[in-house]
């Protein structure tokens, strides 16, 4: 885990979270991606801010290329937001904390 509230998803935990009751924000990233590392603290801040109200996690595209392909993630960072198991928003590139909060609201 990146912090106490930011999860690291694998294929199974990703599917379980996305199909859960809370909204889910997923950051598709890679260690070698400078913009991905730059947005990391913002993702962690969102995880803290929405603790108990949403699930926030990360998917390493190098480790889980099948998830990236399934959701057509061609640029990183890509942030996907799910509600009730459905993809409701896609944000590409570095985003502000407010943009991420609005996507979850």
The residue among 42, 24, 58, 50 whose CA lies nearest residue 94 is 42
Instruction: Exactly one of 2, 22, 30, 33 is catalytic; name it.
Output: 33
pLDDT band at 30 (very low <50, low <70, confident <90, very high): very high
Q: Which one is catalytic: 36, 55, 73, 80? A: 36
The question of whether 33 is a catalytic residue gets the answer yes
Position 69 scores a pLDDT of 97
Whole-model pTM over 0.85: yes
Q: Give 61-101 pLDDT, tens digit per residue.
A: 999 999 999 999 999 999 999 999 999 999 999 999 999 99
For the domain 6-104, what is the CATH code?
Answer: 3.40.30.10
The conformation of residue 50, written as its DSSP 8-state character, comes to T
């Amino acid at each position: 885990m990146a912090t106490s509230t930011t999860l690291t998803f694998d294929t199974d935990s990703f599917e379980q979270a996305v199909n859960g009751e809370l909204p889910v924000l997923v950051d598709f990233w890679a260690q070698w991606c400078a913009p991905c590392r730059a947005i990391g603290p913002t993702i962690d801040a969102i995880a803290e801010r929405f603790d108990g109200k949403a699930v926030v996690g990360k998917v390493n595209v190098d480790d889980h290329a099948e998830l990236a392909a399934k959701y057509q993630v061609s640029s990183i960072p890509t942030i996907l937001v799910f509600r009730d198991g459905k993809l409701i928003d896609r944000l590409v590139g570095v985003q502000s904390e407010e943009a991420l909060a609005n996507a979850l609201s």
